[in-house]
Amino acid sequence: MKIKKLKKASCEQLYSNLKNNLSSVKNNYIEHSSEFIPLTNGMERIESGSYDVDDSFYNYRFEQIILKTDSRGTYDFENAKIIYELFEDMSPMDANDERIWIRLTHDHFHKYIVKRWMTGSRSVKDIKRVITERFFYKGDAQAARVRNGISRLWWIAHLTVNLGEENDEKKWALTRAICESQDFITSILERSLGSYSNVRIGILEFYLENKELFGSSKSKKIQALLKDINNYGGVSLLSLMEKEEVKELVSELI
Amino acid sequence: MITKSNFSLPYPAIGLEGDFTEGYFSVKPNIYSAEDTLHINEESVEISNEYIKELYDNGVISTVYRIDCPPTFFNFCSSKNKHIEIPLSKLAKFINIEVFLIVTDDIDNYHDDSFNKDYFLGENKGVFQLQKGNIIGFAGSQKITLDSSYTKGGSSLFKFRRSGSQPISIDVEDSLIQVTYPHIDEKLDIINTMPRTKKLTFLNLFIVPALQEAFLNLKKADENDELENYIQEHKWAYILSEGYPNYTTDEPFTCAQNYLQTLLKNGKKESNIPVLDAFYNELS
């Protein structure tokens, strides 16, 4: 099936509706009914530059690409793999184009985004913030890429997959590892140190090889570890270290 | 480059405000794009503090370039290469370049009178041990916006085709602007020789009219509300629309001249509009 990008003006219109008319559009973002109509219906799309994707996950009746989910990220690994394989021709430069992500969150993956990110009660201000983060793609910082509900899955996979590995288990080992904790995803990928492949892979490999060291308070341990690594980067350039040096550093800090 | 403030290390670092009583560290890299690659060359390193300069000259410290592109999670860091090449396909929107001085060999006795006097107050009396990899200097950071004119340059806009004795023609329907030119003398390859030997003639005869035609079509697409599709289908349209946003208001001939001037000026000294250059040359 062919997925077309929205026109930039359409993206701007959606955002403007949210910014200026939250009370009218709010329910479009927090509910997904069985009579769901894609939020971009009637909006202009670009004819060329579309993506041809496998439709085996597409439910034609509900017009949704089906991803299993709960609100805690239990299936983030499986979904990251699916998204990355669905958009196998996408390059990092292509992945910077908000027009495709906004189309996907508002149409094909609307049900997934609502269930994954929009459950629970929130203040009006908070709802607007979460909608902006998860449905849109605002800004040039790394954080925007790992906050949009679908682009984050692509980037999680892209930054951890070992494309040179034939064995599927080993190919996706680090993707599975990073998805075992939401703290990994936010602490690594939302910080600049997440862009250093030696650091990113060094940390994840260490985690895989020494899971017992993270124990039952994994979340706190990961947060503290990443904070310490970040502080270490204040006096020495993390990006210059070899991967094994990073792993050695992690073993000292854990 | 913009230098750091509101930042401190547990020892003096050149480039941090107040850490040294005198001296500075600055670099002037030459940054340009060519053939789908971003090039960064270290051209000059200035260290005016004698103590740090001596460490640098003795190889105990070295410059390090860190380039990152947050939109694509790309990061590159090198202390060995003074000429860095990065494929533009790995980058988007902008990059940040930071330059540091780092310790390449442990320094057991990092000490100098040019340290800020406050560093002498502690137990160590202004003497520090630095390890390999420690940052010892900041030259600052520079943000470079990667618009298409910068990354692609003029050479990625055109292709040339020769044909018998037909007049010069321009075709903008493809991803590149095609210039078809008459080819009469088998011994003379116009397109390879003319840019070097008769640059102004080449620019005014082929490039300015080609750009004019291109801007005319770009403007029409915008007026017909077909711009996004048009840009998607024509690579040259993407480059021109980013490189010269005023195409919607300026006349195509004006756009062509101004845009060409921008391309010719890129990274070099000022240049005149080629049409004017030729005019002045004929007068003199």
Residue A75, φ and ψ in degrees, nearest 5:
-105, 20
Judged against a pLDDT cut of 70, whether residue B70 lies above it is answered with: yes
Please indicate whether, in this complex, the C-beta atoms of A235 and B70 are within 8 angstroms of each other.
no
* Inter-chain residue contact A236 with B64, CB threshold 8 Å: no
Spatial contact of A178 and A204, defined as CB atoms under 8 Å apart = yes
Rounded CA separation B162/B179 (Å): 8
Quick one: average pLDDT of B13-26? Answer: 91
Question: What local confidence, expressed as pLDDT, does residue A129 receive?
Answer: 93
Test the A interface: residue of B19, B38, B72 with most A CBs within 10 Å: B72
Tell me the shortest Cα–Cα distance from A253 to chain B, in angstroms. Answer: 18
Contacts of B64 in chain A (CB under 8 A): 237, 240
- CB distance A96–B71 less than 8 Å? yes
pLDDT at position A66:
92
Facing B133 at nearest CB: one of A96, A158, A236: A236
Chain B 27-66, CB below 8 Å of chain A: which residues?
Answer: 64, 66
Q: Which residues of B touch A102 (CB under 8 A)?
A: none
Q: What is the pTM of this model?
A: 0.78
Residue B229: CB atoms within 10 A of its CB come to 18
Enumerate residues 179 to 208 of chain A having a beta carbon within 8 A of any beta carbon in chain B.
189, 192, 194-197
Q: In angstroms, what separates the C-alpha of A94 from chain B's closest C-alpha?
A: 9
**Chain A from 45 to 104: CB within 8 A of any B CB:** 46-49, 91-93, 95-96
C-alpha span between B268 and A30 (Å, rounded): 54
Question: Does B111 have pLDDT greater than 50?
Answer: yes
Nearest by CB to residue B94, choosing from A48, A92, A140, is A140
pLDDT grade for B232, boundaries at 50, 70 and 90: confident
Distance from the Cα of A81 to chain B's closest Cα (Å) equals 19
> How far is Cα of residue A155 from the mean position of the Cα atoms in its chain?
6
Report yes or no: B141 at the A interface, CB cutoff 8 Å.
Answer: no
Mean pLDDT split into 10-residue runs, chain A, 254 residues: 92 94 93 90 88 90 90 95 94 90 97 94 88 92 91 96 96 96 90 90 96 88 90 86 94 92
Give the model's pLDDT for residue A181: 92
Structure tokens at B8: 């401190």
Range among A38-42, B164-168, B237-241, B270-274 with highest mean pLDDT value:
A38-42
pLDDT, tens digit (0-9, with 9 covering 90-100), for A31-45 = 998 888 999 999 999
DSSP three-state, residue B232: helix
Distance from CA of B208 to the nearest CA of A (A): 29
User: Does the pLDDT value for residue B25 go beyond 80?
Assistant: yes
Q: Could you report the per-residue pLDDT of B156-213, keeping only the tens digit for each?
A: 688 888 887 788 899 998 888 999 888 766 666 666 667 667 778 888 888 999 999 9
Under an 8 A CB cutoff, do A95 and B64 touch? no
Mean pLDDT, chain A, integer? 92
Q: Are B70 and A142 in contact (CB under 8 A)?
A: yes
A139 in B contact zone (CB under 8 Å): no
Q: pLDDT digit string (tens) for A75-104? A: 999 999 999 999 998 988 889 899 999 999
Question: Inter-chain contact A48–B9, Cβ cutoff 8 Å?
Answer: no
**Which sign does the torsion angle of CA A168, A169, A171, A174 carry?**
positive
Single out the residue of A104, A102, A129 nearest to residue A117, CA to CA: A129
The span from the CA of B125 to the CA of B119, in Å, is 7
pLDDT higher than threshold 80 for residue B100: yes
What phi, psi does B109 have (nearest 5°)? -135, 70
Helix, strand, or coil (residue A67) = coil
Test B232 with A46 for CB contact under 8 angstroms: yes
The whole-number pLDDT of residue B253 equals 94
Residue B266 pLDDT greater than 90, yes or no? no
With 60 as the cut, is the pLDDT of residue B270 above it?
A: no
Distance from CA of A146 to the nearest CA of B (A): 11
Query: Which of A142, A152, A241 to mutate: most B Cβ within 10 Å?
Result: A142
